[in-house]
Structure formats: structure tokens, C-alpha cells
């Protein structure tokens, strides 16, 4: 379903004449991040548990930065080359957005004003992206092959289906957590978050096999930026000010995410490529982080 929605978004971008690089950070990010978006909105609106969506977004980002590049590195025999612009633009922009979120969470809550600031940060990211493209030759979008009515129907059906599935997932997760005596934080981070990132994982592996290392990381960080801003801002705009306790697993997750981003930037800036050794290190890091979260939650 995510693949069909992504195809429809690509067709919509083509019909609107949006360059590929900009559509990747906007329409395609929406399609790839639809599970995270609906999980965040539904958990806050219907279940009154904003922390579910927050942990899904934080740990989906950690999964995307470690497991997806790590698995992609093993999908090809040669090291994946990564363009400098991906590191200087997408990786750094995401780090800045993360620091913005940390600053907004300093008082232990997210307000509607904070939500608008997050949306403004994402809009600024897209604007800067478009300015950078103006100085480069961007290929014309390929002509659309899908009729307009089919694009609209696919978008509506895809969004409705993903929304329904996410509602069922959150409800089932709350029932399982209650039955097993586990916290929703743990299930959100280690079950929901990887589940929402599986489509991106397979798409990135396919790109890696084609030797498109830049596409793997650019899509990952573009999707993460959308998650961190839009997917957190919309629930706050809907339900109003939300108290967020920056302690325990939430604090642990934020520290891990910031450290992982910084490590990824340093790793990629060495020679702008991703080897199997680096990929293995990223996969091992995710395993250590997940184990640490389990131990801290159970204790």
C-alpha cells in the first residue's frame, strides 16, 4: 500500500512539475512517512498517548540511520558512494531540526506555537532545498503516465487504508502491552517503529543494488525530517498543548538519536562512502541501543 501511495505521489509531482529532488523532500516524504504520521496522530487523538507517536518517530529515525544504511551496505559488493551534498544538506539539516526539537522540549511540553515553529523549520528546509536546486541543472520531470482521476483515487484509498491499519496497530499494541505487563514505550520503539520503516528498508536495498548510495541516504534523511517536524506538529495542533516528560526512555532515545546523527556525519565525511565494515558497525549499534532500551525499561 505504501508503494502504491508513493507511486501516486510521484505521479502527482510529475503533473505539478515539481523537480525530483524537491518532491523527494515533500510528496514522496509524505508517502514514505504515512505510517509514522498516522501513528502519531491516532495515538494522540484517539488514545491520548502522545508518547507512542514520539517514540515511534524517534526510534524510526534511529532505525533509518543505522539499519537501513547498514543493510544497504551489505546489498552490494562495492562500497556505496555518497554525494557530498547529501551530507552537507540532508544530514546537517536533520541534525539542526533535531536540536530545534530539543530546544522546544526544554520546558517539558509542546504547544501549538511550538508546532508552528516545527512546521516553519520544515518549510525552511524545503525552501533552502529549492534554492540549492536553482543553482544546479535539474532534469525535467518525466511525463505522467497515470490519468488524474487515478492519481486522486490512489491517494485517497492509500491514505485511508494506511490510517485504518495504523489505528488497528496502535489498538492491538495497547492490548498486548496491557496483557503482558509491558510499557507502550518499549512496544512503540522496538515493534511499531521498525514496522513503519520496513518499506523504506526494502526500497533502499533496491537503490543500493543499483549503486545509488546517495539516493538511499537522501530519502532516509528527508523522510526523517518530515517525521520530526510535520508528524509531531500535526497531533499537537489537533489536541492542543501536550506535556512531554523528558526523562527515562524518552531522554535516552533523544541522546541516542543525536549521537547517531553526529556519528553518521563524521563517518560519511571521511571518504564519502559506506563500506560493509561501516554498515556492520551501524547494525551493531542498533542492536546495542535496542538492548539498552529493553534493560532500562525493564529495570
Q: Is the pLDDT of residue 160 over 80?
A: no
Model confidence band, residue 44 (pLDDT cutoffs 50, 70, 90): very high
Q: Is the pLDDT of residue 178 over 60?
A: yes
The per-residue pLDDT for 5 is 47
The per-residue pLDDT for 26 is 59
The per-residue pLDDT for 138 is 45
Q: Do residues 59 and 290 touch, judged by C-beta distance below 8 A? A: no
Q: Is the pLDDT of residue 156 over 90?
A: no
Inter-helix orientation angle 232-239/50-73, to 10°: 170
CB-count burial class (<10 Å; 0-12, 13-18, 19+) for 145: exposed
Mean pLDDT of the chain: 81
Q: Which CATH class is domain 2-135+145-294?
A: mainly alpha
For residue 201, give the nearest of 96, 289, 70 by alpha carbon.
Answer: 70
Torsion sign across C-alpha atoms 6, 225, 85, 138 = positive
**pLDDT tens digits, one per residue of 251-291:** 989 999 999 999 988 888 888 888 889 899 999 999 999 99
Return the percentage of the chain with pLDDT > 70, whole number.
79
**pLDDT tens digits, one per residue of 61-107:** 999 999 999 998 898 888 888 888 778 888 899 999 999 999 999 99
Tell me the domain boundaries of the chain: 2-135+145-294
Whole-prediction pTM value?
Answer: 0.85
Measured in degrees and rounded to the nearest 5, phi and psi for residue 33 equal -100, 10
Amino acid at each position: 500500500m505504501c508503494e502504491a501511495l508513493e507511486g501516486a505521489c510521484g505521479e502527482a509531482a510529475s503533473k505539478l512539475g515539481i523537480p525530483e529532488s524537491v518532491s523527494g523532500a515533500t510528496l514522496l516524504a509524505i508517502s514514505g512517512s504515512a505510517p509514522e504520521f498516522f501513528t502519531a496522530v491516532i495515538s494522540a487523538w484517539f488514545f491520548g498517548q502522545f508518547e507512542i507517536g514520539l517514540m515511534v518517530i524517534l526510534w524510526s529515525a534511529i532505525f533509518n540511520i543505522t539499519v537501513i544504511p547498514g543493510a544497504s551496505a551489505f546489498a552490494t559488493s562495492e562500497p556505496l558512494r555518497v554525494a557530498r551534498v547529501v551530507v552537507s544538506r540532508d544530514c546537517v539539516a536533520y541534525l539542526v531540526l533535531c536540536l530545534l526539537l530539543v530546544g522546544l522540549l526544554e520546558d517539558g511540553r509542546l504547544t501549538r506555537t511550538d508546532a508552528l515553529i516545527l512546521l516553519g523549520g520544515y518549510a525552511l528546509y524545503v525552501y533552502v532545498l529549492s534554492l540549492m536546486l536553482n543553482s544546479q541543472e535539474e532534469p525535467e520531470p518525466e511525463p505522467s503516465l497515470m490519468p488524474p482521476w487515478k492519481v486522486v483515487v490512489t491517494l485517497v484509498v492509500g491514505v485511508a487504508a494506511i490510517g485504518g491499519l495504523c489505528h488497528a496497530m496502535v489498538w492491538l499494541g495497547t492490548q498486548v502491552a496491557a496483557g503482558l505487563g509491558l510499557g507502550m514505550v518499549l512496544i512503540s520503539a522496538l515493534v511499531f517503529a521498525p514496522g513503519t520503516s520496513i518499506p523504506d528498508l526494502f526500497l533502499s536495498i533496491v537503490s543500493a543494488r543499483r549503486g545509488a548510495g546517495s539516493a538511499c541516504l537522501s530519502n532516509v534523511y528527508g523522510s526523517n525530517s518530515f517525521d520530526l517536524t510535520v508528524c509531531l506538529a500535526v497531533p499537537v495542533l489537533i489536541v492542543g498543548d501536550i506535556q512531554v516528560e523528558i526523562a527515562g526512555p524518552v531522554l535516552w532515545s533523544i541522546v541516542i538519536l543525536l549521537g547517531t546523527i553526529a556519528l553518521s556525519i563524521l563517518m560519511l565525511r571521511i571518504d564519502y562512502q559506506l563500506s560493509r565494515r561501516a554498515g556492520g558497525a551501524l547494525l551493531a549499534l542498533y542492536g546495542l541501543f535496542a538492548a539498552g532500551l529493553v534493560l532500562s525499561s525493564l529495570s
